[in-house]
């Protein structure tokens, strides 16, 4: 949540006031810390006890801190007015609290005179921020935090500059040699069910090493990290490592953590390439192909994969996707003369960042529109394939044939699930009404 608050200087009669007895306080366990970003005004991260993080503007952070369960809204409005140098109404304060803080569970309503909150704003160097990924479902931790830390510490040497330079050179050379067929001709791969399972197992190992790469980068900057686990992103099965604390690092350090996964996963292709050179093993070739495809997908900045976070951390444009969609709409309305300027640009520092945000936004909209159209065209055919696939499943003879039919069926089911989840997170949102509790 990025909440840039423009406080009005006059009271808003359309919003009625809540009973005087009610007041708000910051949720226990909530942590606040400054964020290294490109915003024109300072930004802060609020991390709740579940590890979810929210980006707040300075004004909103100030209001949040004032909500100690003791002060009523009138007092808060008075204090904010004094700080802003303009009159801010109590009704506006309530609206902001309900819209941004209550809706995201950062504050709770308490009877007046309740126990004061014990939360304080931590100093810069001692804060711990959260970095959560909201589109993730079905999280299962696989390696406990202590074990993950122990494992990650074993690989931090791969981030020494000289080692990293050699590794990158090795990765580039092995890829050019592999695809250029310098030492060995690449054959067309033809796998059966068993071979697929073995290759898939090897690819999974590289995916876990990808997560260790993020964790090791985190450890290189003396930052704590959490468990390594399994999750579904939209519908994509993936591994994750909890990097909630990474928000406290600088943008450049966070960028190294982002790219660390891809770096480690590509390192796994070095021994695979050597084995392939010596033996021509088809599994090695298959894993190299798979790793490269995974890396390309991972670097895609349109979905919230590593490429997206890399772009966010390198540019400091927090909430890039959400702001991108907003800016896209604003640029179109501005160009058609519906609105006079582009409000989101006011929060962004530097012309090139504005340019990047707007370009990213319009290209993302075009990308998703075309992608969605394509998926919607393919979807009816996939439904039919599921029906015939289910019929084949019952008619299949032998374990291998059954597994292949099952695999195909599951792929089609995943595809439809993907279409649904993508629609849910894009088109459906357009038609969804803003739901926020009105003050009574």
Q: Which helix (H) or strand (E) holds 320?
A: helix 320-335
Q: Which CB sits closer to another protein, 110 or 315?
A: 315
Decide: is 188 part of the binding site for another protein (CB under 8 A): no
Tokens 């979810």 sit on residue: 52
Strand intervals (E) in 234-319: 236-241
- In the complex, the smallest distance separating the C-beta of residue 331 from another protein, rounded to whole angstroms, is 5
Q: How far apart are CA 145 and CA 11, in angstroms?
A: 50
Kindly identify the residues of this chain, within the stretch 357-376, that bind another protein according to CB under 8 A.
358-359, 362-363, 366, 369, 373
Q: How far apart are CA 225 and CA 244, in angstroms?
A: 7
- In the complex, the smallest distance separating the C-beta of residue 283 from another protein, rounded to whole angstroms, is 25
Q: Which of 85, 111, 161, 337 binds another protein (CB under 8 A)?
A: 337
- Per the CB < 8 A criterion, the answer to whether 419 and 375 are in contact is yes
Q: Which of 345, 368, 402, 418 binds another protein (CB under 8 A)?
A: 345
Span interacting with another protein, options 159-167, 203-211, 214-222, 348-356, rule CB under 8 A:
348-356
Q: Which CB sits closer to another protein, 294 or 348?
A: 348
- In the complex, the smallest distance separating the C-beta of residue 345 from another protein, rounded to whole angstroms, is 7
Q: Which of 122, 142, 235, 332 binds another protein (CB under 8 A)?
A: 332
- Per the CB < 8 A criterion, the answer to whether 152 and 106 are in contact is no
Give 122's Cβ-side CA count (13 Å radius): 18
Quick note: the x/- pattern for another protein over 372-401, rule CB under 8 A, is -x---x------------------------
Strand order in the sheet with 236-241: 136-143, 228-233, 236-241
- In the complex, the smallest distance separating the C-beta of residue 295 from another protein, rounded to whole angstroms, is 17
Q: List the structure tokens of 79.
A: 């204090």
Q: Which CB sits closer to another protein, 166 or 338?
A: 338
Give 413's Cβ-side CA count (13 Å radius): 10
CB-based contacts of 146, cutoff 8 Å, min separation 6: none
Q: Which of 136, 200, 289, 334 binds another protein (CB under 8 A)?
A: 334
Q: Which helix (H) or strand (E) holds 420?
A: helix 399-425
**Which residues contact another protein (rule: CB under 8 A)?**
331-332, 334-337, 342, 345, 351, 354-355, 358-359, 362-363, 366, 369, 373, 377
């Amino acid at each position: 949540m990025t909440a840039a608050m423009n406080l009005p200087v006059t009271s808003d009669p359309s919003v009625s006031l809540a009973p005087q007895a009610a007041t708000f306080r910051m949720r226990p366990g909530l942590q606040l810390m400054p964020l290294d970003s490109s915003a024109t005004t300072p930004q802060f991260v609020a991390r709740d006890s579940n590890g979810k993080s929210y980006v707040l503007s300075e004004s909103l952070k100030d209001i949040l801190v004032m909500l100690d369960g003791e002060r009523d809204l009138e007092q808060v409005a008075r204090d904010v007015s004094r700080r802003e140098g303009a009159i801010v109404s109590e009704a506006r304060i309530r609206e902001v609290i309900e819209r941004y803080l209550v809706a995201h569970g950062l504050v709770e309503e308490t009877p007046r005179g309740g126990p004061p909150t014990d939360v304080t704003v931590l100093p810069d160097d001692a804060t711990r921020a959260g970095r959560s990924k909201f589109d993730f479902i079905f999280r299962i931790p696989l390696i406990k935090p202590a074990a993950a830390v122990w494992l990650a510490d074993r690989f931090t040497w791969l981030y020494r500059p000289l080692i990293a330079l050699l590794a990158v050179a090795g990765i580039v050379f092995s890829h050019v040699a592999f695809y250029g067929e310098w030492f060995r001709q690449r054959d067309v791969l033809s796998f059966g069910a068993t071979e697929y399972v073995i290759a898939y197992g090897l690819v999974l190992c590289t995916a876990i090493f990808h997560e260790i790469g993020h964790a090791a980068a985190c450890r290189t900057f003396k930052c704590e990290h959490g468990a390594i686990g399994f999750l579904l992103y939209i519908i994509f099965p993936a591994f994750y490592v909890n990097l909630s604390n990474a928000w406290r690092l600088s943008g450049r350090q966070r960028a190294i953590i982002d790219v660390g996964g891809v770096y480690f996963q590509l390192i796994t292709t070095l021994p695979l390439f050597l084995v392939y050179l010596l033996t021509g093993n088809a599994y090695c070739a298959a894993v190299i192909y798979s790793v490269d495809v995974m890396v390309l997908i991972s670097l895609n900045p349109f979905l919230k994969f590593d490429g997206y976070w890399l772009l966010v951390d390198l540019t400091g444009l927090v909430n890039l996707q959400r702001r991108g969609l907003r800016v896209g709409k604003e640029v179109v309305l501005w160009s058609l003369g519906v609105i006079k300027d582009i409000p989101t640009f006011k929060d962004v520092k530097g012309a090139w960042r504005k340019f990047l945000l707007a370009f990213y936004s319009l290209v993302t909209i075009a990308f998703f529109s075309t992608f969605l159209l394509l998926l919607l065209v393919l979807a009816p055919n996939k439904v039919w394939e599921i029906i015939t696939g289910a019929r084949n499943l019952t008619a299949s003879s032998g374990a291998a044939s059954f597994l292949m039919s099952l695999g195909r069926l599951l792929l089609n089911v995943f595809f439809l699930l993907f279409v649904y989840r993508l629609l849910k997170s894009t088109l459906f949102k357009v038609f969804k009404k803003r739901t926020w509790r009105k003050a009574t």
